[in-house]
Structure formats: structure tokens, C-alpha cells
């Protein structure tokens, strides 16, 4: 749904029965171009922040609560300010909001009684990080201009998600929501928490395709992958005790010792180590405007997720395999946590129509579902509107 400020302000007034004029904030979703699940292994990731964002209208209130309404879910939730510090998750969408509020309190910020009206354009469960967009827009809305280092803001959002919501995520999504930049991708070093902006070739479109599949096993499988990577680190430390994360392992070293590692952690590690390298290679290829190489890296990354990390699914593999047969498509891969959601595709501008038509038709015929297409334009990170 496109962003219309007056609609959000009117929605706010109607929902909360007030004439107050709220202040508007936004935080973007993201599409990750390469480097999947590498963030919690302290490797590199390469997302772009999207022009699809989560918007929050906020105004002070006199009822003593933090009251929040989601336009998209048509649900309201309220928590007394005095209870935020000790609140427990309820497995509702409002956990993202109250988790952020609790983390802000822990970081020493006061929270005033307020009304928040949330309206998001980022499709939920699509691998485009609607949750980080909600967390970071909540954080900037509640901070209301109070100074807080950007990197701390990203870390706070991540803590809200891992500690309150209960999803042991890495830093990528919140970092992209904070540091996004119009016109460029972000190459993030998840160990140093620094980044560089990489301009993408102008003669290619980045198109996300939503499979409309949401696999509920997402969080439990994510936990399993985190644990399997830790097992791989423990096994690799037998060869070099200086290794603290898979980031410390080169492909060359891994190639020499991998046969001594049990098969499952071996395959998980192979994905992480190779995808971290592919981030470096994709950034280099982007700088050289080498679209065929960028496409090759996309597909290699997808196969690695499909066979080694095992986080793809049938529908997503079908979208990738169909896309790469369409002339003018350089590459295709799943993006995000996995088990459904979106693919991200590099498409020549002249091939966009054929790509959309061909993929839609094939997917509908095979799965009786209509995929959604999003033209991904790099946008700025979170802030006031």
C-alpha cells in the first residue's frame, strides 16, 4: 500500500478519537542481495534498504499507557508505562513494539504515555524484514529526536527481537533499516559493525518476487542453523583454537580440514564461509559493472542455500530455476531467512516485462498462486518523515 501521509494522520485521529497532530516516522524494509545467515557468523552481508517502509504516527497521550494500533492487522494493544520494564512477550505483533520500548528503558530513556499508529508497506513474512522495519520505526518514534548513536539503535532493535520476541536473529535487518542509503547497497561487516556503500550498476533492475509461501518452521529452523554453525566452530577449533566464528575461517583452510568435520556442520559451514566470500566478490563485481559475474554469484549463493544450508523450499527453487531461463535475467536467488518469502533477481531493464509475464504464468500454472513483484529501489534509513 503506497504511503499517503494524510491517510495515516486521518487514520490516527479516527482510531484514537483525537484531533491531535501526530509526528510521522519511517523505517525501511530491506532486500539482501547476498550473504545469507552470515550475519550471526560475523561475516559480511550485502542488503539494500527499500523504499517500502513501516510508518508510525505518534502523539503524546494522557491515559498513562503505550497504546499501539496496527492498520494492517486492525488490532490495538496497550501497556501501562509502569509495566513496560517487566513486560513479558505475548506472541502478538505488539511484542516488537513493547520489546523495543523495554530496551529503550534499559538504555536509560524515559517513555512517555503515547498513541502509536502503525502502517506498513513491507509485506509480512516475505523475507523483506517487516519486523526490523517495525522495530526501528518504533525506536525512532519513541526516541523522538533524542540522540542515540546509529549503531546502538540497530543493536537495540536486534536485542528487542532476540531477547523479547525470541528470534535469535543477526544484526543485518536492523542495521539496514538504520543505515540504508538511496542509490547504494550496504556492504556490512557484521564483526566490526562498519559498512561501506556500494553503488549498483544503473543498467539492471533488482526485482523481488514474493512466492506467497510462509513456512511456519522459520524460527525453529533458524535456531537449528545457529546451533549447527556453533558445532562447526567447535569442530574447526580442534585445528586452530584461534577460530572464534566462521568469519575466521578461509575457504582454503576449510578445504584442507573439512573432511574431518561431521557432515551436517560441514555443509552448514561451507555455505557460510563461501557466502561470506561471495559478498566480497559481488561488491567487486558491482564496482566493475560485471553483471554476468553478479548473476553467477547469485545463482551460486542460491545453490549453496538449497543444498548445503537447506533453507530453500520447492516453490522458491521453482522461481529461481524458471527465472534464470528467461533471457535478460542475470541471476536469481532466495533472499532472507528462508523457507519461503522472496527471491531477488537481477534483470536487464528491457527484459522486465517478459520476466514478470513469464514467471507469473509459470508459477500460476504450477502452484495456482500469483507471485507479487517489487521493484527494489535503494532508499534512506530510518528517520522522521
Is 353 a catalytic site residue? no
Contact 29, 52 (CB under 8 A): yes
CA 91 vs CA 116, 193, 317: distances in Å: 19, 30, 31
Map grid coordinates 500500500 to a residue.
1
Q: Which of 99, 337, 341, 381 binds ligand GLA (CB under 6 A)?
A: 337
- Give the integer Cα–Cα distance in Å for 371 and 254: 38
**Shortest distance, CB of residue 170 to ligand GLA, whole angstroms?**
3
Q: Which of 95, 173, 228, 248 binds ligand GLA (CB under 6 A)?
A: 173
- Give the integer Cα–Cα distance in Å for 243 and 293: 31
Q: Which of 26, 27, 39, 66 binds ligand GLA (CB under 6 A)?
A: 39
- Give the integer Cα–Cα distance in Å for 364 and 379: 31
Q: Which of 170, 180, 295, 331 binds ligand GLA (CB under 6 A)?
A: 170
Contact 50, 31 (CB under 8 A): yes
Q: Which residue, 11 or 157, is less far from ligand GLA as judged by CB?
A: 157
**Shortest distance, CB of residue 207 to ligand GLA, whole angstroms?**
19
- Give the integer Cα–Cα distance in Å for 140 and 172: 18
- Give the integer Cα–Cα distance in Å for 361 and 120: 28
**Shortest distance, CB of residue 21 to ligand GLA, whole angstroms?**
34
Q: Which residue, 221 or 354, is less far from ligand GLA as judged by CB?
A: 221
Which cell goes with 52?
Answer: 517500502
Give the angle subtended at the CA of 39 by the CAs of 33 and 43, to the nearest 5°.
90
Q: Is position 36 an interface residue for ligand GLA (rule: CB under 6 A)?
A: yes
Contact 323, 343 (CB under 8 A): yes
Choices 6-14, 34-42, 208-216, 372-380 (CB under 6 A): range interacting with ligand GLA = 34-42
Q: Is position 308 an interface residue for ligand GLA (rule: CB under 6 A)?
A: no
Q: Which residue, 77 or 335, is less far from ligand GLA as judged by CB?
A: 335
Q: Is position 268 an interface residue for ligand GLA (rule: CB under 6 A)?
A: no
**Shortest distance, CB of residue 283 to ligand GLA, whole angstroms?**
16
Catalytic residue among 173, 248, 275, 308: 173
- Give the integer Cα–Cα distance in Å for 49 and 184: 9
Which cell goes with 85?
Answer: 520494564
- Give the integer Cα–Cα distance in Å for 303 and 306: 5
Q: Is position 37 an interface residue for ligand GLA (rule: CB under 6 A)?
A: yes
Q: Is position 136 an interface residue for ligand GLA (rule: CB under 6 A)?
A: no
**Shortest distance, CB of residue 71 to ligand GLA, whole angstroms?**
23
Q: Which residue, 35 or 371, is less far from ligand GLA as judged by CB?
A: 35
Residue 378 gets which letter from DSSP? B
Choices 9-17, 20-28, 33-41, 279-287 (CB under 6 A): range interacting with ligand GLA = 33-41
27 beta partners: 54
Q: Is position 336 an interface residue for ligand GLA (rule: CB under 6 A)?
A: yes
Binding stretches for ligand GLA (CB under 6 A): 32, 36-37, 39-40, 129, 169-170, 172-173, 336-337
Catalytic residues: 173
Amino acid at each position: 500500500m503506497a504511503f499517503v501521509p494524510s491517510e495515516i494522520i486521518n487514520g490516527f485521529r479516527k482510531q484514537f478519537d483525537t484531533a491531535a497532530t501526530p509526528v510521522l516516522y519511517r523505517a525501511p524494509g530491506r532486500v539482501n542481495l547476498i550473504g545469507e545467515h552470515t550475519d550471526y557468523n560475523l561475516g559480511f552481508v550485502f542488503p539494500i534498504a527499500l523504499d517500502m517502509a513501516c510508518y508510525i504516527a505518534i502523539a503524546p497521550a494522557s491515559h498513562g499507557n503505550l497504546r499501539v494500533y496496527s492498520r494492517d492487522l486492525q488490532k490495538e494493544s496497550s501497556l501501562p508505562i509502569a509495566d513496560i520494564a517487566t513486560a513479558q512477550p505475548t506472541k502478538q505483533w505488539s511484542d516488537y513494539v513493547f520489546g523495543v520500548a523495554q530496551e529503550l528503558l534499559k538504555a536509560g530513556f524515559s517513555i512517555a504515555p503515547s498513541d502509536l499508529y502503525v502502517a506498513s508497506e513491507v509485506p509480512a513474512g516475505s523475507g523483506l524484514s517487516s519486523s526490523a522495519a517495525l522495530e526501528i520505526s518504533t525506536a525512532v518514534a519513541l526516541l523522538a529526536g533524542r540522540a542515540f548513536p546509529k549503531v546502538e539503535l540497530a543493536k537495540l532493535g536486534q536485542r528487542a527481537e532476540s531477547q523479547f520476541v525470541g528470534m535469535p536473529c543477526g544484526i543485518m535487518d536492523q542495521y539496514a533499516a538504520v543505515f540504508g542509503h538511496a542509490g547504494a547497497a550496504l556492504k556490512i561487516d557484521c564483526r566490526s559493525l562498519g559498512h561501506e556503500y556500494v553503488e549498483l550498476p544503473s543498467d539492471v533492475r533488482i526485482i523481488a518476487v514474493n512466492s506467497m509461501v510462509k513456512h511456519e518452521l522459520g524460527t525453529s529452523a533458524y535456531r537449528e542453523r545457529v546451533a549447527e554453525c556453533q558445532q562447526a566452530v567447535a569442530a574447526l577449533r580442534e585445528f586452530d583454537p584461534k577460530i572464534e566464528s566462521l568469519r575466521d575461517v578461509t575457504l582454503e583452510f576449510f578445504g584442507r580440514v573439512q573432511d574431518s568435520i561431521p557432515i551436517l556442520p560441514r555443509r552448514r559451514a561451507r555455505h557460510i564461509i563461501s557466502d561470506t566470500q561471495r559478498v566480497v566478490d559481488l561488491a567487486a563485481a558491482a564496482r566493475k559493472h560485471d553483471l554476468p559475474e553478479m548473476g553467477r554469484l547469485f545463482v551460486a549463493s542460491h545453490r549453496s542455500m538449497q543444498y548445503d544450508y537447506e533453507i530453500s523450499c520447492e516453490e522458491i527453487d521453482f522461481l529461481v530455476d524458471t527465472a534464470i531461463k528467461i533471457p535478460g535475467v542475470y541471476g536469481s536467488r532466495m533472499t532472507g531467512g528462508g523457507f519461503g518469502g522472496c527471491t531477488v533477481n537481477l534483470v536487464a531493464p528491457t527484459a522486465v516485462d517478459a520476466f514478470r509475464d513469464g514467471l507469473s504464468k509459470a508459477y500460476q500454472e504450477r502452484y495456482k498462486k500469483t507471485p507479487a513483484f517489487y521493484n527494489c529501489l535503494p532508499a534512506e534509513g530510518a528517520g522522521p518523515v
